[in-house]
Every structure is written in structure tokens, then in C-alpha cells.
Structure 1
Amino acid sequence: MTIKLKYELIVNSFKTIDGRDVNVHVHHCKPAGNTNIASSPTHIGWRGKSDGDDISLFGARKIWIDHCSLLFCADGLIDAIMGSTGITISNNYFTHHDEVMPVGTLTFQRRQH
């Protein structure tokens, strides 16, 4: 199955993007927006122009991105900003880009087992 989005996919807290046993490729993202989008099942609001990141996390908590391929985008492959915490990025493939992720803005937390 292929899903082609006209605008960015907004992912908020407590989500998993799991590419195990399937081909999850996020690629060729470009700045877009200046449109009304649904930010929840009951709210539609104005969204300004995006940066063109493959995955953008804004103030998100407890996100897991696993077994995905990220490549060719206008900005960073993964951008976690505005206090995003508890982000796990594991077993992913990053290619064809020179700005994978802004490590200085991420807060990594050690998982306790």
C-alpha cells in the first residue's frame, strides 16, 4: 500500500511509526502548507508553511520511529523541536541527505527495562 500526502502529516504525542516487516519510506518532502488542516478529529485550523522535513515533531512526547527509510527532503530528515522529549529513533536508514537531525535540540531519555 502506498499513501501519498498532499500536505505534511502531523504527528503528536504518544505515537509509533513502525516500519517492521513493511517498507516505510519517507522521502522528497518539500515545504508546503498555508492551508486548513485537521489537527484532531474535531478541530480544523490554519497551518502556515512547513519546512519540508521528512518527519517533524513539535512539542511531542513519547514518539517511537523504527525501521523506516528517510531520504531526499528539503530540510532535515527528522526535526524534533520545542521541548520534544522521550523520542526513540531506532533501526532507521538515513540516506541522500546532509542534515539528518539536529542532535543539539533533542532530549534523549534512557529507557528502563
Structure 2
Amino acid sequence: MVIYLKEEIIIKNYKTIDGRGANVHIENGPFITIQYLTNIIIHGIHIHDCKPAGNTNVRSSLTHYGYKTSSDEDGISIFGGSAIWVDHCLLSSCADGLIDAIMGPTAITISNKFFTHHNKVL
């Protein structure tokens, strides 16, 4: 399964994005943004060839849209939050970083990853 996004995925608390048992790719667009959330699991997803998006309205609930500025071009962007687990994911070829965690997030586990094709990967 290949998923092409027009805008970032902005998820809510207590969510799992689970690619186990399938070959799931998110590619050639914006990717996953976690902003001040808790209890998030991202498992078994291939994320590659990130591109910027944004400067548009995005849905934050069933009844609300809000303006979102340009994305930072990371595969997974973690902005604040806690209890976040990113496991068994493959990340490559993103314009900025593969995973970015800023603004003091806590209790983040990044395990069993494969990072490739990026100037910040040794």
C-alpha cells in the first residue's frame, strides 16, 4: 500500500499507526506531525522522499479547521508531548531530517529503525 498525502497527518492522543502485516509506504509528500500529544505508537511504516507542504487549512477535529504553516520536511516531527513509541520503521530521503524531536518531549522510544539516504545518517 502506498499513501500519498497532500498535507501532514496531524494525529490526536492515544493513537496507533500500525503497518504490521502489510507493506505500507508513505511517500513523496508531507508526513507525520505529533504536537503536544501523549500515548502515540507508530509501527512498521516505510516513510521516504519527504516534501514540504502547508500554508493551508487542516482539520483538527470533526468540526474545526485551522491554518497550518509550512511543514518542516521531516519524516516524523515530534513537537512536545510524551509517551511516544516509533518502532520498526524505515525512514529515508527526507528533505530536512528523518525524525525530529523538539520543544521538550519526554518518554520517547525510537527502536528497531532503519535510517538511510540522508546526510545526517552515519
Q: TM-score of the superposition, structure 2-length normalised?
A: 0.72
Give a deviation string over 1:39-93, Cα, whole Å, max 9, x none: 2344321100111000001112111000000000110100011111111000010
Give the structure with the higher percent strand. Answer: 2
Distance 1:14 1:43, change over 3 A: farther
Question: Which amino acid in 2 is paired with 1:14?
Answer: N
Unaligned segments of structure 2, at least 5 residues: 11-33
Return the alpha-carbon distance in structure 2 between the equivalents of residues 43 and 85 of structure 1: 28
Give runs of ≥4 in structure 1 deviating > 6 Å: none
Give the drift of 1:2. Answer: 2.4
CA RMSD, aligned part only? 1.4
Alignment partner of 2:2: what SS?
A: coil
Q: TM-score of the superposition, structure 1-length normalised?
A: 0.77
Distance 1:64 1:82, change over 3 A: same
Unaligned segments of structure 1, at least 5 residues: 101-113
**Percent of aligned positions that are identical:** 60
Question: Which amino acid in 1 is paired with 2:38?
Answer: S
Paired position in structure 2 for 1:104: none
Paired position in structure 1 for 2:6: 6
